[in-house]
Amino acid sequence: MRLLALAEALRERGIESTFALSPGAMAMATVVERAGFATETVWAASGHASDSQSVLALARDRAADSVVCDGLSFGARYFDQLRAAGLRTVAIDDTGRDVPADVVVNAAMLDAPAPGRKTRAAVELTGAEHALIRSEFHRFPPAAADPHAALPTCGSRKPRLLLACGAVDSTGAAARLLSLLPRRQPLAVSVLQGPQCSNARQLALAADAATAAGHAVEIVGRDGHVSVEMAHADVAVCTGAGTLWELAYFGVPTLALATSSRQESLVAALRRRGAVHGGCWLKSAPDALITGLIDELIGDMALRRRLHRAFSTLVDGLGAARIARHIDNATAVVEARAA
């Protein structure tokens, strides 16, 4: 969804985008088209030479002079081929790889680059100020505008917990986390189900079991609902790297758990800043530890206030606009996303 945020910001500057989606990412096409953007299917394997030729042909057809790529399969040779054809390249890459693009965006690089660090990128845009937040979030003010605002108390209502495990959730994290919810008080749980969710049946069964245990569980789609769910959440449990920035926009006190090495580095950096709770690997964490961390987040209001203040100062929602300024003189853009 972060490419959609950038496309929206480019449109504000009069630059239209076409999304080149691999077949494995086509679940995203409906969301993109509903937002008013054109999509094209690229059948070649993402990142291969035939893929770059397809994208080059699409760029010529759409009179585009810039290509934005989001995905680990886009390697150095891919960017070299695009640049050799005269296209300006932008890489959305939060792994810290040395990508030979004209512009590399890495919001997850929260610390300053090491002195003498070599990079083939002409421009590096790093740090949370470049987090890509979609326009639907702008209907709500960012928590950064007033990070010391009082958090709402639950009173007699059930605490509202948001469970967000990324667009695919290939590890089944959401289903496991539903089974680990604390039993001492009923919760109102909203589970964000991504457009590419690979285990919907397993998730539905876990939701039924959590409901039988006394919680109120609702599975919601991401299309148009994410900002509303986050705006009303008291706390969140998150395993998706990009989703963490959206939660930071609202300053939602969050238990962050890693399911990949890419997420681990971001979660660790946020944990060092006191911005998130937890920070452990979900796969290796004992069930009792996860349940205890969730229980602590829900029950400790002082902890939630500290997390809210630290988290909310990171993201102001203007990251996409900042990146768009570096693509401002483009005629049109092709945005390519790997599966």
- Report the SS3 class of residue 235: strand
Q: How confident is the model at residue 329 (pLDDT cuts 50, 70, 90)?
A: confident
pLDDT one-digit tens code per residue, 199-231: 788 999 999 999 999 999 999 876 657 899 999
Where is average pLDDT lowest: 131-140, 236-245, 264-273, 330-339? 330-339
All residues at 6 or more sequence positions from 41 whose CB lies less than 8 Å from its CB, including other chains: 20, 21, 22, 23, 26
Residue range 160-189: mean pLDDT, rounded: 90
Q: What is the CATH number of domain 139-312?
A: 3.40.50.2000
Instruction: Tell me what the pLDDT averaged over the chain comes to.
Output: 90
pLDDT one-digit tens code per residue, 185-207: 899 999 998 766 667 889 999 99
**Closest of 276, 283, 244, 245 to residue 261, by C-alpha:** 283
Query: What's the half-sphere exposure (Cβ side, CA atoms, 13 Å) at 194?
Result: 24
* pLDDT greater than 80 at residue 168: no
45 vs 312, more confident: 312
Alpha-carbon distance of 86 to 302, in angstroms, equals: 54
Q: CA 108: distance to chain centroid?
A: 11
- Report the SS3 class of residue 125: strand
All residues at 6 or more sequence positions from 299 whose CB lies less than 8 Å from its CB, including other chains: none
**Closest of 277, 221, 219 to residue 247, by C-alpha:** 277
Q: For residue 82, what is the DSSP state?
A: H
Q: CA 121: distance to chain centroid?
A: 23
Residue range 280-305: mean pLDDT, rounded: 95
What whole-number percentage of the chain has pLDDT above 90?
65
Residue ranges per structural domain of the chain:
2-133+317-337, 139-312
- Report the SS3 class of residue 222: coil
pLDDT one-digit tens code per residue, 97-150: 889 999 999 999 988 777 767 788 888 999 999 999 999 999 999 999 888 888
CA angle, 166 as apex, 163 and 167 as ends, to 5°? 125
Q: Where are the alpha helices (DSSP H) in 62-165?
A: 76-84
Q: Specify the CATH number for 2-133+317-337; select among 3.30.420.40, 3.40.50.2000, 3.40.50.11190, 3.40.605.10.
A: 3.40.50.11190
Q: Where are the alpha helices (DSSP H) in 213-339?
A: 226-231, 241-250, 261-272, 287-299, 301-312, 319-325
All residues at 6 or more sequence positions from 53 whose CB lies less than 8 Å from its CB, including other chains: 44
> Crossing angle of helices 301-312/241-250, nearest 10°?
100
pLDDT one-digit tens code per residue, 51-109: 899 999 999 999 999 999 998 889 999 999 999 999 999 999 988 888 999 999 999 99
